[in-house]
Structure 1
Amino acid sequence: MKKSLYFLFISVLFWTSCDPASYQSEVILPRIISDGMVLQRGEILKIWGKGTPGAKIRVSLAGVVGSNTVGEDSTWVVELPELQAGGPHLLEVNQQKVEDVYIGDVWLAGGQSNMEWELKSGVIGTEEEFAKGGFEDIRFFKVPHSYSALPQEDVSDGQWKKATPEHMPNFSAVAWFFASKNRAEENVPVGIIESNWGGTPAEGWTEAAVLASLTGSYMEEAKEIVENPDLFEAENQANEKRRVLRDVMVKGPDSVVAQKTSALDFDESSWSIINLPRANPLEHIAWVRKSFNLSEIADAKLTLSTIDQQAYIYLNGQLLHYKDWGVPMPVLDIPSDRLRKGKNVLTIRAINTWNNRPVIGSEDEMYLEVGSRQIDLQGTWAYSNSDAEELLPKVEWLNWKPGMMFNAMIYPLINYPLKGVIWYQGESNAGRYEEYQELFSAMITNWRNRWEKSDLPFLFVQLANFMERKNLQPDSDWAFLREAQRQTLNLPKTGMAVTIDIGEAEDIHPRNKKDVGERLWLLARKVAFKKEGLAEGPVIQSDFTLTDSTAVLNFSSVGKGLQLSTGDKVLGFIVGDDNGDFEAVSAEIISESQVKLALPMGKEIKEIRYAWADNPEVNLVNELGLPAVPFRKVLVEQE
């Protein structure tokens, strides 16, 4: 406190005694230092940018002042003392003004699509959130997707957006629910920096020089990138040119092309004949047409429950619906005047920019209901991906390569003080689970080093349950990845939100993001704000009691005691013997913090696992309903 007061005194003295005319030079600020920004309370603040070498820089904010001189490399940094929460303030850098600045808590929301998933994309509970009207002291800055083999000075674009009804639908749902809790409980403004990208692996978010010293499958390529960044950057630039062309092509069909291709009398004789949905997936910009006849017309409903990712749907030459990425395909109401007696034609233009393989329809979910009649749309369709429009150029996911997203989407932010990081990722690394603990731990440490804050809170989401439910699945990649995530908790100031109970078997993007964000907030209260209270579900302890027929396990984080979310028996435990054979076992709660397992007779048990499958059935929780943390406990060391 004395240091801050001294800094303030010297700063004010300096301000009043120096000639303001000497601070006239122009400056360039990074995009994140812009109107509406939120800065971290209680931290030394860095304001930085570019200017003319040798020019003087003066910065003022909320009554404090700092100064510096532009270096020979045209860069400058000015530090300001810690400030309390509040606003709005005016930030002045020489003659440049940044308005509507707040001081509060700032979090970086990183990862892949489950963090990127927006409120507008079918998230449970969003209508209630929208009805509240938003909070103007919650602001989001979305870093655009970008990648580079070289560290970038600034992000490619972006601006701070207030949480208003206009902007909220485009916010990360997980980050929104988290930020809402932060604002409500701490009573401070909240800033969220979204730096995330669907489908991305952790190595793309980690500095290549760090990866080059590790042992994973990415090591050799990381070394090549470190040694020849210009070569990789040239490849990136060429790939981006193809992407820009691709994006122009898929954005929307030319109106003349669309009208012609969807018309009733369009000649489709040169097109291929395919069977949908059996022919899925298709390729490039897929145009398909299906004719059907009506003897009577009436109001109708069209069901095409599966379209991946985007589609324009036409009926008799007129646009009926546009289905966007991430938005569920609704049942479409068709007024009778859009139909006609005799021949009708349904035309679909489908695109999938993720893998260039669009999907149209699924079994038993392709039909048209006209009055009391149901017309099956499965079967033969006319198909072309090169007649109406050209084939798409090949665009590769070069951003997945070591360090590429770190350089363009993380490195430009490292001067910006944070309260911490919230992270949801791992799906794209599940096939290489054996290297994830080392990789993820290295990434966290890398970020902490770059922010020069060894105790930067890092809170992450463990993979949710997903895919077909199987009674026994000891070889599950997703279970092993979850275990690697759990082991990453060995790093200090980390926390893991367990979501093994709120996933969806058929969708890798569960729509329950509210519980995810709020579970991350419980961890933030404990890790970042040092508050007491339950922050996680039951956690297995190292001590246990083993007999020939039973195992008694001890748990912490139980609150008032272990509970079951459903049923009267604990579900989800399996045991393995010295031959590597596993079987499910029954279990029961025997005290506030203990569970007893009934072990198979005549076997030497080597392992106990809990919630060990892609999509396990589990029900062990604590008093807050938080699920027990999945685990693997080895009882007998392997030779």
Structure 2
Amino acid sequence: MGNKMEDVKESIIQQTKGPTLGEQLWLPKLLSDGCVLQQGEGTRVWGKTLPYMGVTAELGAARGGLDSELPDIVSSTRSDSKGDWQILFPELKPGGPFSLTVRTESGGFRRVEDVYVGEVFVCAGQSNMELPMERVRDRYPEEFERMEEPLIRLYKVREQYDFNGPLMDHEKAEWKGCSKESIGGFSAVSYFFGRYLLEDRKVPVGLINLSLGGTPAEAWMGREALLSYPEAIETLEKYRDSNFVKEQIQRNERLQKEWHDRIDEEDSGFKNLEKPWKEIQLPGFLEDAGLGNFCGSIWLKKKFQVPETMAKKAAKLWLGTLVDSDRTYVNGVLVGETFYQYPPRKYQIPEGLLNCGENEIVIRLVCDNGKGRMTPGKIYAVFTETERISLEGVWEYRVGFSCGPAPQTDFVSGKPTGLFNAMVAPCLSYTVKGVLWYQGESNDKNPYTYKDLLQRLILYWREVWKQERLPFVVAQLPGFSIDLKKDSQAWPMIRDAQAQAARIPDVAVTVNLDLGEWNDLHPLNKKEVARRMALAARGMIYGEPVVYKGPELRGWKVTGNRVELFFDAGEGKKIRVKDGAGAEAFQLAGDDGVFYRAEGQVKDNQVSVWRKELEKPMYLRYGYENAPQKGLLLNEEGLLASPFCLKLEGGEGLV
């Protein structure tokens, strides 16, 4: 074949950027112990070996498996001039566990155990798709007590980026079955979707989780999909230089360290008697105490009384969320610390620390960007299973050190193409049933482009996955407002862009306005998010007779200052208003584009709205706010209408 054996082995190792070559045969991590293969025709397995080598793949029953009576499935092929090979199994029936055995003519041999056949979904996006079950443990404690469920299996890809072209394999990734030991690390949306799908389809479920917090859509797209975005391509060209990337990472670390070190050195401390303590009402915002735009360290303290029945007992300390990082002490003992704003502060007070009578909690809070707070609407308490002490009310504070804002971090992993190349590309040969997409928060700085970006991403993934009708289920962003400007239209625009993606065939969009938390970027009700995505999969992908869409606007008519809107809520069914409210979710504007809250009424499947001050309404919006709560429309199944914005031209129209 023109090459020595050792040269060929080294060539394969280099091309796969890391995988070891066992007996001249390499398989990707996706084809490893515990994997789930997609049932049906044309399921692909692939790898690398020597050039022009015969390869045989056999899927057979594992010893003692439930499907031991099924015949083995055997397919063969020959590798190409580069040693690449792929095999399409003719038809796979659901079941398992099986063994996947791959052999080559030269003696290469690999066996993959504990293989199942069922339904495989990609679960992709940013932090709300990544959020693990551990973060929602207190909301769903029963899920952590379930028996082991080997038919739900997660392939979690760890953070990795590359700006110089698609990789062949993941650096860190593995399949895990659901158990009491592993469930905490499962993506919550992925897990609950898997539960619903298993209950419905009664086959093994494989979930490939490709998600990373704080990442825009551009990071999940290949270069070819971004050619009409010159700024993205310009950024990509800079990050293709590995030395530049290294310098950026080092710069981030150096600037952050210098900023925090300076605070640590200059902080006058908790016991500095020269600075008096002042009162502050918490939870709340520091700016409410005259500390607007405060950056640096601030000390917060509160005394609380512990009854004899709680004294010396272990207890829980919940402090909602704090902006930005904290170290928290109870009676002088460090009980917990968190390094950024988003995780909930749930600390353990060890046995013996709480005294009968007076106790003290002290928090050293470091504020990065002038928006320090104890987030309102959260739980602030010390409690056991039977008793609870509220920590809300009057606290005291003392500034430790005031300075300028923390340097902005250049998040390398969010740059264009990096995550696509390193996390998505190695999956493209894996046969999947569909994609769950939950992302958009990090595109709110430029929401005008998101409609195009999302549609490009969907079409591009279909092209490179070589599945022309690859179904997508998109989770529309829920309600959220605390970190957004009051009149900002960024999130409503992104929701609108997501809704419009449903115009592409085989794309469904779930509406989640009511599942958000105004004061938390990471709402906890991931089970209902997953249920709605599972309904969409059942209806759109599997063709089941289930309702998976909320009421849909079918037309409108303007008569004087009144706008009548006509909705379809399903055959013979009517729309209703969440919580029995009126038309509070509707807004009207005239020629000047200034919107006013509408008055209105809902009857059957018709909504009439008006505003006395507007003789001729020209624009109408529904649900077009950061976190609308009143007047949301839903069908009899409890699914919401998607937000929309209309220009009321011509007196009437159809959507």
Residue matched to 2:32? 34
Residue matched to 1:379? 397
Matched, 1:531 2:544: yes
SS in 2 for 1:26: coil
Residue 572 of structure 1 aligns with an amino acid whose one-letter code is A
Matched, 1:506 2:515: no
Residue matched to 2:130? 116
Distance 1:292 1:49, change over 3 A: same
Residues 326-345 of structure 1 correspond to what in structure 2 (within 5 A)? 327-330=343-346, 333=349, 337=353
Residue 164 of structure 1 aligns with an amino acid whose one-letter code is S
Distance 1:75 1:425, change over 3 A: same
Q: Determine if contact 1:469/1:614 at 8 Å carries over to the other structure.
A: no
Q: Determine if contact 2:488/2:626 at 8 Å carries over to the other structure.
A: no
Matched, 1:91 2:103: no
Q: 1:519 deviation in Å?
A: 0.6
Count of matched residue positions in the alignment of Structure 1 and Structure 2: 585
For residues 289-316 of structure 1, what are the alpha-carbon distances to aligned partners after superposition, in whole Å with 9 as ceiling and x for unaligned? 7799999997398674433566554456
Residue matched to 2:619? 607
- 1-side partners of 2:547 and 2:497: how far apart? 23
Gap runs ≥5 in structure 1: 1-23, 259-265, 386-391
Residue 620 of structure 1 aligns with an amino acid whose one-letter code is L
Residue 76 of structure 2 aligns with an amino acid whose one-letter code is S
Q: Compare 182-191 and 554-563 and name the one that shifted more.
A: 554-563
Residue matched to 2:222? 207
Distance 1:48 1:324, change over 3 A: farther
Residue matched to 1:321? 336
Give the TM-score, by structure 2 length.
0.77
- 1-side partners of 2:545 and 2:417: how far apart? 37
Residue matched to 1:444? 458
Q: Determine if contact 1:274/1:382 at 8 Å carries over to the other structure.
A: no
Equivalent residue in structure 1 for 2:503, among 487, 490, 505: 490
Q: 1:503 deviation in Å?
A: 1.1
Equivalent residue in structure 2 for 1:597, among 586, 590, 609: 609
Q: Determine if contact 1:141/1:192 at 8 Å carries over to the other structure.
A: yes
Residues 406-417 of structure 1 correspond to what in structure 2 (within 5 A)? 406-417=420-431
Equivalent residue in structure 2 for 1:220, among 224, 228, 231: 231
Equivalent residue in structure 2 for 1:234, among 221, 231, 243: 243
Gap runs ≥5 in structure 2: 1-21, 61-71, 104-108, 281-285
- 1-side partners of 2:305 and 2:138: how far apart? 41
SS in 2 for 1:236: helix
Q: 1:86 deviation in Å?
A: 0.8
Residue 121 of structure 1 aligns with an amino acid whose one-letter code is R
- 2-side partners of 1:52 and 1:310: how far apart? 53
Q: 1:515 deviation in Å?
A: 1.1
Residue matched to 2:631? 618
Residue matched to 2:200? 185
Residues 99-498 of structure 1 correspond to what in structure 2 (within 5 A)? 99-122=113-136, 125-150=139-164, 151-214=166-229, 219-223=230-234, 225=236, 230-231=240-241, 233-239=242-248, 299=311, 304-308=319-323, 313-315=328-330, 318-321=333-336, 327-330=343-346, 333=349, 337=353, 361=374, 377-380=395-398, 382=400, 396-467=410-481, 476-498=489-511
Q: 1:575 deviation in Å?
A: 1.6
Distance 1:50 1:567, change over 3 A: same
- 2-side partners of 1:368 and 1:327: how far apart? 18
- 2-side partners of 1:122 and 1:109: how far apart? 18
For residues 410-441 of structure 1, what are the alpha-carbon distances to aligned partners after superposition, in whole Å with 9 as ceiling and x for unaligned? 11110011110011111111231111111110
Q: 1:517 deviation in Å?
A: 0.5
Equivalent residue in structure 1 for 2:51, among 46, 50, 53: 53
- 2-side partners of 1:186 and 1:628: how far apart? 27
Give the TM-score, by structure 1 length.
0.79
Distance 1:382 1:191, change over 3 A: same
- 2-side partners of 1:439 and 1:55: how far apart? 42
SS in 1 for 2:134: coil
Q: Determine if contact 2:294/2:402 at 8 Å carries over to the other structure.
A: no
Q: 1:159 deviation in Å?
A: 0.8
- 2-side partners of 1:322 and 1:632: how far apart? 44
Equivalent residue in structure 1 for 2:91, among 82, 95, 114: 82
Matched, 1:579 2:592: yes
Residue 484 of structure 1 aligns with an amino acid whose one-letter code is A
Q: Determine if contact 1:136/1:162 at 8 Å carries over to the other structure.
A: yes
Residue matched to 2:18? none
Distance 1:377 1:566, change over 3 A: closer
Distance 1:238 1:51, change over 3 A: farther
Matched, 1:544 2:562: no
Q: 1:270 deviation in Å?
A: 13
SS in 1 for 2:549: coil
- 1-side partners of 2:118 and 2:390: how far apart? 59
- 2-side partners of 1:480 and 1:502: how far apart? 18
SS in 2 for 1:28: coil
Q: Compare 47-56 and 530-539 and name the one that shifted more.
A: 47-56
Distance 1:85 1:311, change over 3 A: farther
SS in 2 for 1:102: strand
- 1-side partners of 2:307 and 2:508: how far apart? 59
Q: Determine if contact 2:380/2:392 at 8 Å carries over to the other structure.
A: no
Residue 37 of structure 2 aligns with an amino acid whose one-letter code is L
Distance 1:358 1:88, change over 3 A: farther
Report the RMSD for the aligned CA atoms in angstroms.
Answer: 4.4
Q: Determine if contact 1:87/1:102 at 8 Å carries over to the other structure.
A: yes
Distance 1:245 1:57, change over 3 A: farther
* Percent of matched pairs sharing the same residue: 29
Q: 1:52 deviation in Å?
A: 2.9
Distance 1:331 1:585, change over 3 A: same
